[in-house]
Amino acid sequence: MNKRKKTIKNSIIIAGPCAAESKEQILASAKEAQKRKIDFMRICLWKPRTKPGFDGLGKSEIPFLTEVVKMGINPAIEVLLPSHAKAVMDAVLPVLKNGKLLLWIGSRNQNHLIQQQIAKVASKDKRVVLMVKNQPWADEKHWEGIIEHVLAGGISRDCLILCHRGFIPNGHNPLKLRNMPDYEMSMRIKMKTDLPIVFDPSHTGGSIPNILEMTKQAAKHDFDGVMVEVHVNPQNALTDAKQQLTWEQFDKLFKTYRR
């Protein structure tokens, strides 16, 4: 039975660039996120992509991360391996005052053993929230399976949240969405697991007009928040340039959803 009655209107906001690109970009984003009291800022050091290219700054840039944490930012970072989770936790947790660290397992990371191992590392500190994105293909059982695997890895339910980023389009797609949302499945998963679930309008929409549309549609369902890509200079973004909002666009879109 689902007891949570939160909606996007009063819940978690994860925002920031698709990928961390440079010290300057990370610090400029952190200032914008700080002004708006964003709950978690995306700072992805590893950037899994459809084709090889810029794959993220990697571990060597972890020192910038601690600077941002010292500014009071709660980081949200995709981790692909247990060693990523450990490296980030070792650097961030000692400087994290009253905040939280969000680590997430991305859609493309569908090795169940690795999912369990990441959860095991994340479970070592209660200040770490683990977020699980759905897999790329539409399969409710698989999505439930990922959740069961991370729970088997030892993460506690109060440190676990989900994210719906849509499924690979298959057929009718009049808006030319990057990934098709399945709101009904998302709500079923939320009911069955009793876990909070955020919606990702950026990786579903794939373009600015679609992000606006996806945000409107998602607001009709009982999501517990959003994860949205916002860049200080989207035109020159190294990844996902077409779908990153400016902070001004973010303000317009989310002013009605903020606390």
* Chain positions contacting ligand PEP, by CB under 6 A: 18, 44, 48, 78, 106-108, 133, 165, 203
Beta strand 197-199 with 160-164: parallel, antiparallel or unpaired?
A: parallel
Binders in 183-242 for Mn ion, by CB under 5 A: 240
Question: Closest Cα to residue 223, out of 202, 201, 251, 256?
Answer: 201
Nearest to ligand PEP of 139, 158 (CB atom): 139
H or E stretch covering 229:
strand 225-229
Three-state DSSP state, 145: helix
Beta carbon of residue 220, minimum distance to ligand PEP (angstroms, whole number): 22
The listed partner (Mn ion, ligand PEP, none) that binds 41, CB under 5 to 8 Å by sort, is: none
18/129 with CB nearer Mn ion: 18
Shorter beta-carbon distance to ligand PEP: residue 15 or 97:
15
Report the SS3 class of residue 125.
coil
32 binds Mn ion (CB under 5 A): no
Q: How many helices (H) and strands (E) does the chain have?
A: 9, 8
- If the CB atoms of residues 79 and 96 are measured against ligand PEP, the closer one turns out to be 79
**Measured from the CB of residue 200, what is the shortest distance to ligand PEP in angstroms?**
6
**Among Mn ion, ligand PEP, none, residue 108 binds (CB under 5-8 Å by kind):** ligand PEP
Which residue's CB is nearer to Mn ion, number 182 or number 240?
240
The answer to whether the CB of 130 falls within 8 A of the CB of 122 is yes
18 binds Mn ion (CB under 5 A): yes
Shortest spacing between CB 106 and ligand PEP, in angstroms: 3
C-alpha–C-alpha distance, residues 167 and 133, integer Å: 11
Question: Which helix (H) or strand (E) segment is 211 a member of?
Answer: helix 208-218
**With binding defined as CB under 5 A, does residue 20 bind Mn ion?**
no
The answer to the question of residue 39 lying near Mn ion (CB under 5 A) is no
Q: Which helix (H) or strand (E) holds 13?
A: strand 12-16
**Nearer to Mn ion (CB atom), residue 56 or residue 82:** 56
CA-based angle 246:252:255, to the nearest 5? 125
- The string over 110-124, giving b where at least 16 C-beta atoms fall within 10 Å of a residue's C-beta and e elsewhere, is bebebbbbbbbbbbe
Selection from ligand PEP, Mn ion, none that 164 binds (CB < 5 to 8 A by kind) is none
CB of residue 165 to Mn ion, shortest distance in Å: 9
Please state the closest distance from residue 49 (CB atom) to ligand PEP, in A. Answer: 7
By beta carbon distance, the residue nearest Mn ion is 18
**In sequence order, what DSSP letters do the residues of 31-58 get, joined into one string?**
HHHHHTT-SEEE--SS---SSSS-----
Least spacing, CB of residue 3 vs ligand PEP, in Å: 28
What is the DSSP-derived secondary structure letter of residue 180? B
| 160 contacts Mn ion (rule: CB under 5 A) | no
Q: What is the DSSP letter of 135?
A: P
The residue ranges that bind Mn ion (CB under 5 A) are 18, 240
